[in-house]
């Protein structure tokens, strides 16, 4: 095994190191989730922590790491007699993103159980991590059911395996550490809440600190053993301090005053449930033990709040993380425990104004602003006044009245804030897929309702008992059965096929041209797209964003699991100019082609948000010329858009058009576009889940596509 990078040699990242050490002192804190951009020493710090953990005594030969002084009476390898054991280093077990449920919780050998009558259980990673560290890199990319199993075991301290009427239980108490890059998608709020602490990490912007990071890393890569030897004394000191803090922890007193501050802080930040209060209490106690004290002070409560509350106070996926430290200090001072010096000490530990105002703009709601257009500033009103009164602006843009000089034909106008999001109707992809687990379209999955049986392909994971019995029954006489029972052979075993839901790639193709730039309408359109993004977040989809305006289309956001990034791009989307509808569709088709190569199993749903007007051919005309189309004069923009749309129908891509046309005179062009795409069209009003405008015509209603 290679020498790990020393924990004490990590430069900066004070909050990260403190959170890891507090969990080492008191695993009851509940683990830590480390969020941050790539290359910020997340994995390095976690792996370095394992070298600081004290050795553990285990029963010799026990696969479940039972303590010799208090063995688990229900251990599958037991019962064990109380006595001396053997010492070994604490393990750090890594859970890979592609791990299966059987690898995580363990597996019962169903073949041996049925064919030989042997109850053989193979432990999983949860058993290996007992009394050690379980490290999950990119935890946000794990399937939801695996995260559920993982966090349930961490909360209960035990893992339960239920397979075809056979139950196995074993202890599973470990320090849970997860790392993730928020750009690749978020965890559901329910799962975020199960992590005790969270830490936001970022690369330092101080040149001297960055130089020191590079210097130490190069020295470690040149001579890992020599570098570790130079930090051996510091490592030993931290290891001894962890042991001392563990011994002191039972003696730490959490007074009524500190408890009152904890409760008041959780109430002030409106966290759900009581888990935050309990985690804060345990964290504050561990902080006192780490400092060598037996009393919890206000500064411990403050630090515990900064670690335990940021991920719990988020109300929806588009709110910014973090904690208002001014509000925190005011709450601690108001509900002080009578230890005046503690309250002042807590205030002094603040970093001043850094981050104190970060949360002020955000409480307005998801998407930031809820459609309050007057807040956009006076420079927006003059340029949009005529457009708002008529509901339209000319398709061919003109220089804006704000004084900007847009490119010819662009007619760019200032971005409009999104209206308040709403709950949308269900849009799904027809047919039966096999993509990543999610909550949108029907798919064959490992979890869900049983729909049939088949011969196993590889290891048997889900036994279909009835089908197995039916396969074995006709052969009993030939197998010499002479009495009650059933002779089952390997060829008789049948795998259950199950149907659940999958996540899709939802690719938004948004018209940002002049015909959409009327202030009131664009606000409603952004609100609708924001609502669909929220729906995509809840259904565990990937999202992408293509916009078109002027004479071309661009990929505003490549397909990603981060709906936060899509919401940010949407909020700053400019509008104006002609409508190159065909170019937007062709650019979306290119995105789908590339994404299909990267992830063939994930099916796509294209959501085109437009009024259906096409006033510019642009890139689509060039593509037509390359394909042998008419060049002189070129095809009409509407014909080009229809030709591009029919390519989606040929490819079998599920699509839906959100019709944004408004005003007393409507051309119905969005409906025609939906017909060319082979999809459905819905209006902005019909998109609402509580709409009574009629049944929504989603993509499942198209019988041609389902076939």
Per residue in 117-165, pLDDT tens?
A: 666 778 889 999 898 889 988 888 787 778 878 878 887 888 888 765 5
Q: Is the pLDDT of residue 357 over 60?
A: no
Q: How would DSSP label each residue in 297-329?
A: -HHHHHHHHHHHSTTTS--STTSPP---HHHHH
Distance, in Å, from the CA atom of 455 to the CA atom of 432, rounded to the nearest integer, reads 20
Q: What is the mean pLDDT of residues 290-319?
A: 84
Q: What is the predicted pLDDT for the residue at 291?
A: 93
Q: What is the predicted pLDDT for the residue at 462?
A: 78
Q: If we measure between CA atoms, which residue out of 509, 664, 667, 511 comes closest to residue 590?
A: 509
Categorize the per-residue pLDDT at 42 as very low, low, confident or very high, splitting at 50, 70 and 90: confident
Distance, in Å, from the CA atom of 222 to the CA atom of 673, rounded to the nearest integer, reads 62
Q: Is the pLDDT of residue 289 over 70?
A: yes
Q: If we measure between CA atoms, which residue out of 374, 453, 384 comes closest to residue 414?
A: 384
Token pair recorded at residue 341: 């010096």
Q: What is the predicted pLDDT for the residue at 31?
A: 87
Q: Is the pLDDT of residue 549 over 80?
A: yes
Distance, in Å, from the CA atom of 455 to the CA atom of 471, rounded to the nearest integer, reads 10
Q: Is the pLDDT of residue 677 over 60?
A: yes
Task: Note the helical H segments in 487-518.
Answer: none
Q: What is the mean pLDDT of residues 414-420?
A: 78
Distance, in Å, from the CA atom of 409 to the CA atom of 323, rounded to the nearest integer, reads 45
Kindly list the distances between the CA atom of residue 375 and the CA atoms of 567, 637, 648, in Å, as whole numbers in the listed order. 19, 37, 40
Q: What is the predicted pLDDT for the residue at 121?
A: 77
Q: Which of 239, 241, 275, 596 is catalytic?
A: 275
Q: What is the predicted pLDDT for the residue at 227?
A: 92
Distance, in Å, from the CA atom of 607 to the CA atom of 508, rounded to the nearest integer, reads 5
Q: Are 487 and 476 in contact (CB under 8 A)?
A: yes
Q: Is the pLDDT of residue 343 over 50?
A: no
Q: What is the predicted pLDDT for the residue at 325?
A: 86
Distance, in Å, from the CA atom of 397 to the CA atom of 408, rounded to the nearest integer, reads 8
Q: What is the predicted pLDDT for the residue at 165?
A: 56
The more confidently predicted of residues 471 and 350 is: 471
Q: Is 633 left (phi over 0), alpha (psi -120 to 50) or beta?
A: left
Cβ within 8 Å of residue 680, ≥6 positions away: 656, 657, 674, 696, 697, 698, 699, 701, 702
Convert 393-421 to b/e letters by CB count within 10 Å (16 or more is b). bbbbbeebebeeebeebbbbbbbbbbbbb
The single-letter DSSP state of residue 542 is: E
Q: Which domains does the chain have, with CATH numbers?
A: 1-53+89-98+124-201 (3.40.50.300), 251-364 (1.10.8.80), 382-428+504-706 (3.40.50.410), 442-500 (no CATH)
Q: Is the pLDDT of residue 335 over 80?
A: yes
Categorize the per-residue pLDDT at 705 as very low, low, confident or very high, splitting at 50, 70 and 90: very low
Percent of the chain whose pLDDT exceeds 70: 79
Q: Are 20 and 32 in contact (CB under 8 A)?
A: yes
Strands annotated E in 588-698 = 604-610, 654-659, 680-683
Categorize the per-residue pLDDT at 690 as very low, low, confident or very high, splitting at 50, 70 and 90: low
pLDDT digits (tens, 9 = 90+) for 591-604: 999 999 888 899 99
Categorize the per-residue pLDDT at 636 as very low, low, confident or very high, splitting at 50, 70 and 90: confident
Percent of the chain whose pLDDT exceeds 90: 24
Kindly list the distances between the CA atom of residue 187 and the CA atoms of 98, 230, 447, in Å, as whole numbers in the listed order. 17, 39, 20
Known catalytic membership, residue 275:
yes
Q: What is the predicted pLDDT for the residue at 351?
A: 43
Calculate the CA 544 to chain-centre distance.
Answer: 15
Indicate the range of 323-337, 358-372, 481-495 predicted with least confidence: 358-372
Please name the helix (run of DSSP H) or strand (run of DSSP E) that holds residue 704, with its range, or none: helix 703-706
Token pair recorded at residue 517: 């730039």
β-bridge pairing 56-58 and 86-88: antiparallel
The more confidently predicted of residues 235 and 632 is: 235
Q: Are 625 and 646 in contact (CB under 8 A)?
A: no
Query: What is the chain's alpha carbon radius of gyration, rounded to the nearest angstrom?
Result: 30
Categorize the per-residue pLDDT at 303 as very low, low, confident or very high, splitting at 50, 70 and 90: very high
The single-letter DSSP state of residue 5 is: P
Q: If we measure between CA atoms, which residue out of 611, 656, 619 comes closest to residue 640?
A: 619
Q: What is the predicted pLDDT for the residue at 108?
A: 67
Q: What is the predicted pLDDT for the residue at 116?
A: 62
Categorize the per-residue pLDDT at 372 as very low, low, confident or very high, splitting at 50, 70 and 90: very low
> Which range has highest mean pLDDT (167-171, 281-285, 415-419, 695-699)?
281-285
pLDDT mean across residues, the chain = 78
Query: For the CA atoms of 571, 577, 581, 582, what is the dihedral angle to 10 degrees?
Result: -120
Q: Are 145 and 437 in contact (CB under 8 A)?
A: yes
Distance, in Å, from the CA atom of 175 to the CA atom of 31, rounded to the nearest integer, reads 6
∠ CA(480), CA(486), CA(487), 5° rounding?
Answer: 55
């Amino acid at each position: 095994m290679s020498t790990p990078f020393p924990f004490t040699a990590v430069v900066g990242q004070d909050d990260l190191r403190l959170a890891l050490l507090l969990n080492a002192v008191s695993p009851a804190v509940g683990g830590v989730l480390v969020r941050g951009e790539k290359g910020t020493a997340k994995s390095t710090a976690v792996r370095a922590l394992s070298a600081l953990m004290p050795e553990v005594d285990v029963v010799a030969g026990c696969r479940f790491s039972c303590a010799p002084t208090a063995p688990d009476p229900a251990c599958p390898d037991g019962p064990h007699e109380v006595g001396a054991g053997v010492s070994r280093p604490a393990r750090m077990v890594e859970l890979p993103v592609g791990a299966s449920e059987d690898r995580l919780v363990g597996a019962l050998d169903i073949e041996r159980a049925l064919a030989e009558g042997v109850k053989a259980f193979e432990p999983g990673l949860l058993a290996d991590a007992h009394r050690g560290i379980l490290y999950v890199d990119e935890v946000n990319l794990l399937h939801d059911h695996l995260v559920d199993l993982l966090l349930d075991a961490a909360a209960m301290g035990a893992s339960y395996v239920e397979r075809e009427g056979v139950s196995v239980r074993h202890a599973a108490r470990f320090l849970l550490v997860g790392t993730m890059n928020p750009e690749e998608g978020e965890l559901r709020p329910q799962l975020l809440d199960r992590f005790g602490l969270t830490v936001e990490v970022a690369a330092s912007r101080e040149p001297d600190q960055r130089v020191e990071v590079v210097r130490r890393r190069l020295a470690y890569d040149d001579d890992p053993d020599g570098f570790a030897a130079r930090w051996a004394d510091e490592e030993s000191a931290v290891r001894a301090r962890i042991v001392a803090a563990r011994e002191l922890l039972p003696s730490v007193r959490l007074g009524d005053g500190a408890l009152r501050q904890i409760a008041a802080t959780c109430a002030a930040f409106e966290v759900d449930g009581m888990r935050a209060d309990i985690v804060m209490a345990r964290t504050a106690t561990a902080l006192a033990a780490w400092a060598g004290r037996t009393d919890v002070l206000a500064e411990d409560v403050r630090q515990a709040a900064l670690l335990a509350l940021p991920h719990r106070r988020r109300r929806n996926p588009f709110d910014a993380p973090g904690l208002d430290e001014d509000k925190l200090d005011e709450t601690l001072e108001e509900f002080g425990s009578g230890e005046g010096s503690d309250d002042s000490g807590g205030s002094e530990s603040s970093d001043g104004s850094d981050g104190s105002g970060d949360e002020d703009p955000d409480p307005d709601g998801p998407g930031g602003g809820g459609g309050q257009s007057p807040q956009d500033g006076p420079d927006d009103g003059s340029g949009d006044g005529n457009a708002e009164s008529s509901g339209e602006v000319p398709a061919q843009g003109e220089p804006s009245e704000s004084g900007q000089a847009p490119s010819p034909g662009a007619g760019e106008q200032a971005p409009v804030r999104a209206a308040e999001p709403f709950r949308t109707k269900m849009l799904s992809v027809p047919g039966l897929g096999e993509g990543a687990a999610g909550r949108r379209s029907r798919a064959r999955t490992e979890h869900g309702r049983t729909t049939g049986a088949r011969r196993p392909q590889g290891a048997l994971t889900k036994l279909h008992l009835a089908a197995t019995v039916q396969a074995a029954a006709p052969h009993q006489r030939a197998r010499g059965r002479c009495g009650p029972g059933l002779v089952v052979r390997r060829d008789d075993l049948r795998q259950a096929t199950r149907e659940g839901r999958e996540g899709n790639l939802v690719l938004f193709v948004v018209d940002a041209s002049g015909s959409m730039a009327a202030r009131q309408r664009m606000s409603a359109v952004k609100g609708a797209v924001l609502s669909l993004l929220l729906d995509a977040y809840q259904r565990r989809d990937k999202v992408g964003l293509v916009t078109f305006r002027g004479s071309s289309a661009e990929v505003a956001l490549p397909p990603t699991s981060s709906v936060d990034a899509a919401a940010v791009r949407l909020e700053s989307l400019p509008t104006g100019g002609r409508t190159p509808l065909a170019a937007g569709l062709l650019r979306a088709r290119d995105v789908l082609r590339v994404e299909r190569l990267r992830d063939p199993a994930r099916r796509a749903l294209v959501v085109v948000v437009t009024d259906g007007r096409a006033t510019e051919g642009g890139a689509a005309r060039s593509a037509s010329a390359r394909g042998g189309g008419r060049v002189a004069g070129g095809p009409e923009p509407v014909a080009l858009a229809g030709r591009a749309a029919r390519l989606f129908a040929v490819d079998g891509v599920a699509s839906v058009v959100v019709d944004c046309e408004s005003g007393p005179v409507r051309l119905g062009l969005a409906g025609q576009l939906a017909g060319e795409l082979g999809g459905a069209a819905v209006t902005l009003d019909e998109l609402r889940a509580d709409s009574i405008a009629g049944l929504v015509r989603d993509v499942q209603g198209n019988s041609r596509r389902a076939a």
